[in-house]
Amino acid sequence: MDLLRSVKDRTDETEFYTPLPEGYRLGATKYVAVFGTVMSGLGKGIFSSSLAKLLKDKGLRVSPIKLEGYLNLDSGTLNPFRHGEVFVLDDGMETDMDLGTYERMLDQDLTRDNFATSGQIYKSVLDKERAGSYLGHDVQMIPHVTGEVKMRLRSLALKTRADVVFVEVGGTVGDIENAFYIEALRELSYEEGEGSVLFVALTYVLSPSALGEQKSKAAQLGIKRLMEFGIHPDLIACRCENPVTEKVRQKISIYTNVPMPRVFSMHDLPSIYLLPQQMREAGLDSEVVQMLNLARKVNSAADARAAVEWERFASKIGAQSREVTLGITGKYTALRDSYASIIKALEHASVANDAKVNVRWIDTTDLTAENVAEALRDVDGIIVPGGFGSRGTGGKIECIRYARENKLPYLGICLGFQMAVIEYARNVCKLPDADSTEISPDCKTPVISILPEQKKIEGLGGNMRLGGQDVEIRPGTRAAELFGGAKKIRQRFRHRFEVDPQYIAALEQAGLVFSGKHPVHPIMQILELPREAHPYFVAAQFHPELTSRPLRPQPMFVGLVAAALKR
């Protein structure tokens, strides 16, 4: 069959170019591709991950992938103000924040195979061209670049043994950088065969307050643009502030030939964790199972159990009678997406503690010893999150000093861990020049610096500790209590600077407890103050928020909320 010809078989007599991973069978894996129209930021990842969760609940093996249009090889260099937080996977890949949504919703660790950028795709194609893999053919967007995209999707399917691969195309239909992704998915649908690929259009229904009614024209035109690429949606999700009216859904249904049961109102909800339940009630999961011919693989008993468990969790959201207010003190507070995983970790912890958590955003840029008390006056606890650079660090140190001296529950994350060490060194160990070489390269007392092992590879650009690492827990500490007596845990890191080993003894003698460290090297990874000195003062060099899940909340956040409640 010409369609199955590999690159080695291609001649001038055929235009078919379908490189397949060894062992891959066309039509064996199902695909759900999600596109955005009208505007970006509507929640493609939330919709896709929620639908994927429902299929996973049915006993199906699912694997998501995010296709990004930018040329960066990963998300590591992106400014949080422009693109939200950088989400770090266990294997060290720095990705888009939507990968965090998938991990949390699916309770599933992902890898670099679940994330692709245009830069990665082009680099792979050019590397193959230089290696002579295309046998002298002129390398083109079609079929070679689109072929590389299809190869990525099929390799993921094979590697994860997925029943369904969920493909989220970043950005919006019409963005020039995403056009080749859309074309690749059109080709994929043709090659995999009927009933193998399902297309979802996520659109936006306008609701101008001046008109007092919902308007679907922008949604219709956005979907029309998708259809111009040869993609006919099988399912449409309509984003809107309020439930989309029957009239508007009918208009969209008629315009697109998509049956009414498959035109879904994805209106605003108090929490994204309420969406799977809403989709289930609308029968969306059943529609997908039917369209992809997956009924014989469904485990109805597992589906029923998962539905009950999730409903039990979701029913607690917003129903708590107790409340606490936690301050998040940072320099990216103007953009909430910069701390998306922290917000979600707090939501998980709030359900675990049966208490609503109100977040107060506190910009540390202009905080000083004189105004910090006023800034923290009405909070029940604070979080000093991660970050890079010197701006706002002085204010963070003042927040930590105030929390320590006033027994305000405190959780430090990454930079918040380092700033806690500096604050303790300055104000308790009486080392007034204590600082970090990141902030002050020539400081006299570098309690935070780059370790010798890292300095050796600094010139190679590899001095960032990224991804999952083991943390050895010291018995009898609060950390041991939080993690259920575990002697070793695995957490995710993203940092360059560490506690300098030459100051560890002095810090410990002054009362600081390093309750978590690297199993082999003198790298401190969790610190705390003894219970008798402070009700809850804990900090981690890693990012605990990255491993928090709805039904498995991260212990350090659960402990913070519990301490704030006691206060």
Q: Are residues 355 and 224 located together in one domain of the fold?
A: no
Whether the predicted pLDDT of 125 surpasses 60: yes
User: Going by C-beta distance under 8 Å and a sequence separation of 6 or more, which residues neighbour residue 81?
Assistant: 332, 334, 335, 338
- The answer on 419 and 380 residing in a single domain is yes
13 in a structural domain: no
At residue 409, the pLDDT reads: 98
Q: Does any domain span residue 156?
A: yes
In this structure, are 227 and 353 located in the same domain?
A: no
Cross-strand pairs, 267: 240
φ, ψ of residue 171 to 5 degrees: the values are 75, -150
pLDDT above 90 for 337? no
pLDDT confidence band for 77 (50 / 70 / 90)? confident
Q: Residues of the chain with pLDDT > 90: what percent?
A: 83
User: Residue written as tokens 């969209």?
Assistant: 252
Domain region containing 65: 29-313
Residue 487 within a domain: yes
In a domain, 132, yes or no: yes
240/139 same-domain check? yes
- From 146-155, 157-166, 317-326, 408-417, the region with the lowest mean pLDDT: 317-326
List active site positions. 414, 543, 545
CB-CB neighbours of 388 under 10 Å = 14
Query: Averaging pLDDT over each range in 182-186, 394-398, 448-452, which range is the top one?
Result: 182-186
Instruction: Write down the pLDDT at residue 269.
Output: 95
> Which pLDDT band, with edges at 50, 70 and 90, does 211 fall under?
confident
**CA–CA separation, 10 and 520 (whole Å):** 53
At 140, which amino acid appears?
Answer: Q
pLDDT attached to residue 463? 65
Contact in structure between 186 and 229 (CB atoms under 8 Å): yes
Give the least confident one: 256-270, 375-389, 488-502: 375-389
CATH code for the domain of 74: 3.40.50.300
pLDDT of residue 330: 78
16: in domain:
no
* Per-residue pLDDT at 454: 59
Query: Does 384 lie in the same domain as 495?
Result: yes
Considering 313, 332, 362, which residue would you say is the last residue of a domain? 313
306 and 330 in one domain? no
Tokens of 394: 């002085």
Quick one: average pLDDT of 117-123?
97
Which pLDDT belongs to residue 333?
A: 59
Rounded to whole angstroms, how far apart are CA atoms 75 and 72? 7
Q: Give the up-direction half-sphere exposure of residue 393: CA atoms within 13 A in the CB hemisphere.
A: 22
- 62-76, 230-244, 336-350, 389-403, range with the lowest pLDDT: 389-403
The answer to whether residue 549 sits within a structural domain is yes
Could you tell me if 299 and 440 lie in one domain? no
What is the per-residue pLDDT for 79?
A: 77
CATH of the domain at 532: 3.40.50.880
163, 98, 386, 469: CA torsion to nearest 10: 10
Q: Are 36 and 138 contained in the same domain?
A: yes
Task: Answer yes or no: is pLDDT of 259 > 60.
Answer: yes
Amino acid (1-letter code) at residue 349: A
Tell whether 305 and 434 lie within a shared domain.
no
Number of compact structural domains in the chain: 2
Q: How confident is the model at residue 366 (pLDDT cuts 50, 70, 90)?
A: confident
Provide the pLDDT confidence category of residue 500 given band limits of 50, 70 and 90: very high
pTM value is: 0.93
Domain boundary among 313, 332, 353: 313
Which pLDDT score, from 0 to 100, does residue 2 have? 47
Q: What pLDDT shows up at residue 38?
A: 87
Decide if pLDDT at 17 tops 70.
yes
Q: Are residues 203 and 238 both part of a single domain? A: yes
pLDDT of the residue at 455: 58
pLDDT of 390 > 70? The answer is no
Residues 282 and 349 in one domain: no
pLDDT of residue 321: 87
Distances (CA, A) of 282 to 42, 224, 362: 20, 25, 40
Over pLDDT 70: what percentage of the chain? Answer: 93
Residues 142-165 pLDDT 10s: 999 999 999 999 999 999 999 999
The position carrying tokens 């039917």 is 290
pLDDT, residue 549, reads 98
Average pLDDT, the chain: 92
| Residue located via tokens 């008109």 | 211
Of 60 and 462, the structure prediction assigns the larger pLDDT to 60
134 and 7 Cβ atoms separated by less than 8 Å: yes
Same domain, 308 and 373: no
| Domain-located, residue 465 | yes
- The answer to the question of residue 107 being in a domain is yes
Q: What is the DSSP letter of 257?
A: T
Average pLDDT (463-473) is 91
Residue 458 pLDDT > 50: no
Domain boundary among 278, 313, 348: 313
Q: Check if the beta carbon of residue 229 is closer than 8 Å to that of residue 199.
A: no
